[in-house]
Structure 1
Amino acid sequence: MMRADLPSVPGVVSARDIRRTAESIAAAQEPDGAIPWFGGGHTDPWDHIESAMALTVGGLWDVARDAYIWSAKAQRSDGSWPMQVRAGVIENHDADTNFCAYLATGVLHALDVTGDTGFATEMWPTVRAGIDFVLGLQLGAHGEIHWSANESGSSGEALLTGCSSIFHSLGCAVTLAERMGDPRPDWAAARDRLGRALRHHPEAFLDKGRYSMDWYYPVLGGALRGAGAADRIAQRWNEFVVADLGIRCVSDAPWVTGAETCELVLALDAIGDTAAATSLFTAMQHLREPDGSYWTGLVFTDGKRWPEERTTWTAAAVVLAADALTRTTAGNGIFRDTLPR
């Protein structure tokens, strides 16, 4: 088990709180290394990696390593992963391109935090195959990437949130390729095309504007920085942010969610708005349980937690946000300052 300093946000969460949250994620891990949404729930490749990143920050590197090894073993011959698995049984055979790209983010994060070059080298072929699969679906006229594929072909549609996350993962992949001595300028060029689509061609993506993720993800993923990022956040702040509770998942429902709130924290941290980021991080702690786990969300009109589940990926977003705010581990800038420009 890796020894590490743990994030501590004064007056909000202690280092011990963060360790308990990491332990709550580890408690859900299955024997083969998969990390489902909650005990008995399904595993998807993206949230699985988000949880592995949080385990790494929480000092549980052996557990995180098992999660990454699961990803390597579960990868299919074309470089993809099935969208949904439960207890080792595939429930949805389709591939989500955003899910398949995210391993690059996780492996770069693990390398930054642990310095374990040998493990990164071991994982590199898996990362490389995943990214090549994803870029095989960069079929849009403006460089956008189709969001899913199955035996019949691609979905033919692109999602703003998914492509923003892929943009971030491609940056991690390009950086990782350089560190592995296997530079991929073709990936960098593909990322540039995708970035232009995200910044200048909103018509290339399905309209999902009622979801808060479509609001902040171009900032979180790094496609927008500077004044453009600040303007985007300001435009819909009052629509999504609920004082003292967090942010809405969707604009037209009285439902705040912890993971989205913490992702916005990461986005705000990435553009230097530390005060607002810390305020939101503090506000969402009403979702915390004494064992360190977090409820997914709260319907604030009736005070009910919904859905009635404590999700590993919500806990993971909390840990990653705490690390970013406190600059604790060497991976704290994974959403801020480690990507190629």
Structure 2
Amino acid sequence: MTRLYLRNQLCIPVMGFNRAIIYDLGRKDYHFISEAHYHMLNTDGLINFDGISDESERSELIDFLLDLEIVFEVASAHEAERFPKISTALHHTNPLSHAVVHTNISRNFIDFISQNHLQNLSIISAQMNDEVIRVINSFAHLEIDGIYLYIEKFDPHSLSLYERELARLPAVFSVNFFKADKPHTKLEANIYYNFFTEGFGDYKQLLTVDKLYVNQDFFLEAYNKHSYYNGKIYIDPSGNIKNGLNNTQIFGNINSMSDDEFHQTINSELFLALGNISKQKTLVCQHCEFRYMCTDTRVPEKEAEHWFHHAECVYNPYISKWNNEEGYLNLKASGITVSASGCTINKDQLSETFNKIWSE
């Protein structure tokens, strides 16, 4: 008797240049799969495993997928109708859902966003001190899901002084310290304390594995919008309004704005432009299997028909390597040329490079 299988609709296959990933949105995890297995699983109907001629390989794959609950067995083809495809549309959009500020943030900003629901508020400070606590309390009356602190210089003494006080602030989700002696993470009183050896200036520029997020809300946002710039506002220490930490474009100054001017600004087509650029529209990113879980702070640019980045990502999807992994090469060394006119792939050079890297 033929056994029938459907794919869990919260397990979404995404194809990269060389390999694919199953995004397990329910468990906030991911699993690599081959291109051949991607094409089998990329269906909303019954899965046809007959393409795998080797019975042992076929059985091993099915057991693997069943164990992870990526697929499940149904009694008949009619049961497929009971499991409709989930929508990938982003139904709820908010022009302001993520804010990044410094401890000298103007009271104007706090008043202007009093009617907004913020998913994330990030506060940057040179050190952990009374001013950080004061700023957190100044936002206490607002609807904020989580507050993230970024402390540019780690000082063990100041952490011990404020750890108990931070524990009494329910909105604080994580405290991130930079220039620590060694990288590590600890969980205390429902707050994640993350310690990084690099400086904050380097951290905010680069994509790293810890900036990959797998969940349904993030996936839908990244599928339709830019996962970093959509709904994002950054107020620099001088009060200048920007889209994000690495963007140089200024949209006015919070200190000299009225409430109406502020909301006209953040709802303007110019301010929202970067947030509307999905990774599928961006050169190189469109070939990356991580594109719907990636928090990429680089500023996309468009000089001709294509969106692209002047700065290269730390992950090369054409050879499936991160820059801290053995065998990594940059795009040019891999046979990839990226410019405003498009992406050109030297297939012979890339094939030779890929085979050399992965056969060693």
| TM score, norm. by length of structure 2 | 0.24
Select the structure that is richer in helix: 1
Select the structure that is richer in strand: 2
Which structure is richer in relative contact order (CA contacts within 8 A, separation 6 or more)? 1
| TM score, norm. by length of structure 1 | 0.25
